[in-house]
Amino acid sequence: MPVEETFAKLCLSGAPPSDSHAVKSLVFKPKTAKTATPIPIVVVALQSTTTPSPLIAQVTSLKDPRLARDELFKTFFNCNSAKEFTLAYLPNATSEFKLLMDSNLAQLDGSSDLQLNDTLFIKKSELCKYLTPFESSRQVVDFSQEVKKEEPKKKAPKDKKSATTTPSQSALDDAKLIGITVDKSKDFPGWYSQVLTKGEMMDYYDVSGCYILRPPSYAIWENIQRWFDERIKGLGVQNAYFPMFVSSRVLEKEKDHVEGFAPEVAWVTKAGSSDLEEPIAIRPTSETVMYPYYSKWIQSHRDLPLKLNQWNSVVRWEFKHPQPFLRTREFLWQEGHTAFLTSEEAQEEVLQILDYYAGVYEELLAVPVIKGKKTEKEKFAGGDFTTTVEGYIPQTGRGIQGATSHHLGQNFSKMFNLSVENPKGKDEPRVFAYQNSWGLSTRVIGVMVMVHSDNKGLVIPPRVSQFQAVVIPVGITKKTNDEQRQHIHDSAKDVESRLKKAGIRAFGDYNDNYTPGWKFSQYELKGIPIRIELGPKDIEQGHVTVVRRNDSRKYTVKLEELEDRIPEILDEFHDALFNKAKELFDTHRVIVNEWEGFVPALNKKNVILAPWCGVMECEEDIKDSSAKKDDGEELEQDDKSPSMGAKSLCIPFDQPDLKTGQKCVKCDRDAINYCMFGRSY
């Protein structure tokens, strides 16, 4: 068939690419009067995207679209059947049709490989070119959006009571629709996307790899900022702001360093309608932005130490699969950049900052981490050594880098001439400053969500949650009279205001249009740490019922003890989250001394502590060897990287005892220490 052939020319020849995105093309037929010609709807979507017909109806304004039968394919596309249909048939169309493109697909880079109908491979950019003639009928659709429902049919309530006591059925339907519909243990990426969007932490954005931080996640970031900022200021660090733009000349000054970032740098080349004289980069990190000025400002050893930090956003145009919080093209972070006269001072600070990073994870986010040093292969390009906190995602058994604190030694100071006269005297050689840089990003929020949240929605640790407690009046029935209802509401509002006065981030939900049950689900979805129920019986007995989000554990708290007990309950909640996560990490961090145990342990979702020789080639060998599917065990089905090899995560500061003469887990060299390996993000 000639049509098929033309299309095939666009497609890739040779071996199929290893990490292509499966794409489906579906055709829907809307309900149409028998006398009218139907307008078919062609949907091009990632295999993993569900494309509900009510949503298709909404975005096309066509009625009741159903998957088309073979007949339509014949008359309309001159194609034998739905099964045979591919996008190659589009030019055959006998009349108008609509073309919906999945926003997940639209967001992919042009260079992404797509797999169409199992057999054809094509670059996304080529597909877009191919679809250009159909531009006018084309529409990009976010299939994850909720179907806009009609407003709940709120019959103008003649009797106010009945309106308040019997929430409309549609509200209950809402509750089902807005809940999480994917199981964390079965479809982890799908679950992650749902808890984030339905919990209203984040939304997808129409520029690929960029996401919207909605108030609940931004508030978490603000709480982290407050905690960390106070501590670094205590060390004498001052905040500053450097421009987001870097000239190419400056960016490229430190060659090793820029090599690591160059492929991901975004370039501004135009302003208004004028081309810039030379392209200007958006900072991927600020070493080269800042250090020329450090060199200018530091004129004498009395100008040291210089300790600056900035809270900003940086851009790394990664071409790997983006993931909210974990891998995004723009992200918020802090970057500290310090310069010292002596190596000792600098190294002391590197570790102090690492302790604070561990504190952010463990004391705020209730996520256990392991502190250690990166191997030479994994360290920051251009630095002397990198220290890191490493976390663990139980569901996938993968390690995740939490935050890093780098000792740069004198590499950058020599490059940027950041030097001072030797305090020992003019005849001694000039001293180049010893530098550190350290950064913690909004990635921490993604790790927190992955570790704690569940099939009911988000679980947010109380110390960072935007709100810590929601007060909900309960026990209002048809028999409750106005006065009683008022009394319950007033009592609940009193509880709310007492909690706020005590410094607890509390709010109340007194909306009579929803049942308490509906509210419970809502705030479970959003991860509010505790809910405080107050009904007639509670009031009678002078207490409230407190239910914590993670395990629905109930507490009865006497009204007079509110201000004392609620903070305690929040702390217990924090500890419970941390301990559960720690137990999972501890039991999935196993010592493996012999290679034959390595891959099987990995496949059981463990990270591994193994004796290691410290040689870079051996590290690469471990990665390659653990990536093969050559062992008998069934491999974990991880969507992105089914046979991902194990990387070194860190050399933990806290080391198991190394026996004398212990060999490396992989080669026959002597081990020099234990290294933590794992599949990772």
Task: Please report, as residue ranges, which positions from 488 to 527 form the binding site for a copy of itself (by CB under 8 A).
Answer: 511
Nearest to 331 by CA among 313, 349, 357, 311: 313
Instruction: Report the SS3 class of residue 215.
Output: helix
**Closer residue to a copy of itself (CB): 124 or 531:** 124
Residue 270 engages a copy of itself in binding (rule: CB under 8 A)? yes
**Closer residue to a copy of itself (CB): 297 or 653:** 297
Under 8 Å CB-to-CB from 665, ≥6 apart: which residues? 592, 593, 594, 595, 598, 610, 611, 612, 622, 671
Residue 133 engages a copy of itself in binding (rule: CB under 8 A)? no
x-or-dash string of contact with a copy of itself, 440-479, rule CB under 8 A = --------------------------x-------------
Q: How far is the CB of 480 from a copy of itself (least distance, A)?
A: 23
**Closer residue to a copy of itself (CB): 454 or 496:** 496
Rg (CA), the chain: 29
**Closer residue to a copy of itself (CB): 222 or 564:** 222
Q: How far is the CB of 266 from a copy of itself (least distance, A)?
A: 5
Residue 213 engages a copy of itself in binding (rule: CB under 8 A)? yes
Q: How far is the CB of 317 from a copy of itself (least distance, A)?
A: 4
Q: Token pair for residue 242? A: 């450097």
Pairing state of beta strands 647-652 and 673-678?
Answer: antiparallel
Q: Contact with a copy of itself (CB under 8 A): which of 13, 241, 632, 668?
A: 241
d(CA 190, CA 183): 8
Q: Contact with a copy of itself (CB under 8 A): which of 177, 268, 351, 616?
A: 268
**Closer residue to a copy of itself (CB): 198 or 588:** 198
DSSP 78-142: --S-TTT--GGGGGG-SS--EEEEEHHHHTS-TT-EEEETTTEEEEHHHHHHHHGGGGGGEEEE-
Token look-up 């794409």 returns 23
**Closer residue to a copy of itself (CB): 298 or 610:** 298
Residue 552 engages a copy of itself in binding (rule: CB under 8 A)? no
Q: How far is the CB of 137 from a copy of itself (least distance, A)?
A: 16
Taking CB under 8 A as the binding criterion, the range among 236-244, 334-342, 471-479, 537-545 that sits at the site for a copy of itself is 236-244
Instruction: Report the SS3 class of residue 157.
Output: coil
d(CA 438, CA 407): 9
Q: Contact with a copy of itself (CB under 8 A): which of 206, 376, 428, 596?
A: 206
Q: How far is CA 584 from CA 51, 185, 456, 459, 550, in A?
A: 36, 15, 20, 17, 16
**Closer residue to a copy of itself (CB): 103 or 115:** 103
Residue 267 engages a copy of itself in binding (rule: CB under 8 A)? yes
Q: Which amino acid is at 530?
A: I
Q: How far is CA 433 from CA 334, 381, 392, 420, 423, in A?
A: 22, 18, 36, 8, 12
**Closer residue to a copy of itself (CB): 473 or 645:** 473
Q: How far is the CB of 144 from a copy of itself (least distance, A)?
A: 11
Q: Please, which of residues 314-373 interact with a copy of itself by CB under 8 A? A: 315, 317, 319, 329-330, 332
Q: How far is the CB of 343 from a copy of itself (least distance, A)?
A: 21
Residue 54 engages a copy of itself in binding (rule: CB under 8 A)? no
Q: How far is CA 376 from CA 215, 256, 258, in A?
A: 39, 14, 17
What is the phi/psi pair of residue 3, to 5°? Answer: -55, -50
Residue 61 engages a copy of itself in binding (rule: CB under 8 A)? no
Pairing state of beta strands 138-141 and 98-102?
Answer: parallel
Nearest to 438 by CA among 359, 343, 353: 353
Residue 654 engages a copy of itself in binding (rule: CB under 8 A)? no
**Closer residue to a copy of itself (CB): 197 or 606:** 197
**Closer residue to a copy of itself (CB): 124 or 543:** 124
Q: How far is the CB of 142 from a copy of itself (least distance, A)?
A: 8
Q: How far is the CB of 498 from a copy of itself (least distance, A)?
A: 19
x-or-dash string of contact with a copy of itself, 185-204, rule CB under 8 A = ------------------x-
Residue 146 engages a copy of itself in binding (rule: CB under 8 A)? yes
**Closer residue to a copy of itself (CB): 245 or 653:** 245
Nearest to 372 by CA among 411, 403, 393: 403
Q: How far is the CB of 369 from a copy of itself (least distance, A)?
A: 25
d(CA 16, CA 9): 15
With beta carbons less than 8 A apart as the criterion, state whether 355 and 388 touch. no
DSSP 363: I
Q: Please, which of residues 71-130 interact with a copy of itself by CB under 8 A? A: 110-111, 125, 128
Q: How far is the CB of 284 from a copy of itself (least distance, A)?
A: 10
Total residues interacting with a copy of itself, rule: CB under 8 A: 80
With beta carbons less than 8 A apart as the criterion, state whether 154 and 174 touch. no
> How far, rounded to the nearest angstrom, does the alpha carbon of residue 272 sit from its chain's CA centroid?
33
Taking CB under 8 A as the binding criterion, the range among 185-193, 277-285, 347-355, 588-596 that sits at the site for a copy of itself is 277-285
DSSP 77-93: H--S-TTT--GGGGGG-
Q: How far is CA 644 from CA 28, 113, 193, 374, 629, in A?
A: 38, 19, 22, 19, 10
Q: Please, which of residues 400-429 interact with a copy of itself by CB under 8 A? A: 420-421, 425-426
x-or-dash string of contact with a copy of itself, 295-314, rule CB under 8 A = -xx-xxxx-----x---xx-
Q: Contact with a copy of itself (CB under 8 A): which of 150, 230, 657, 668?
A: 150
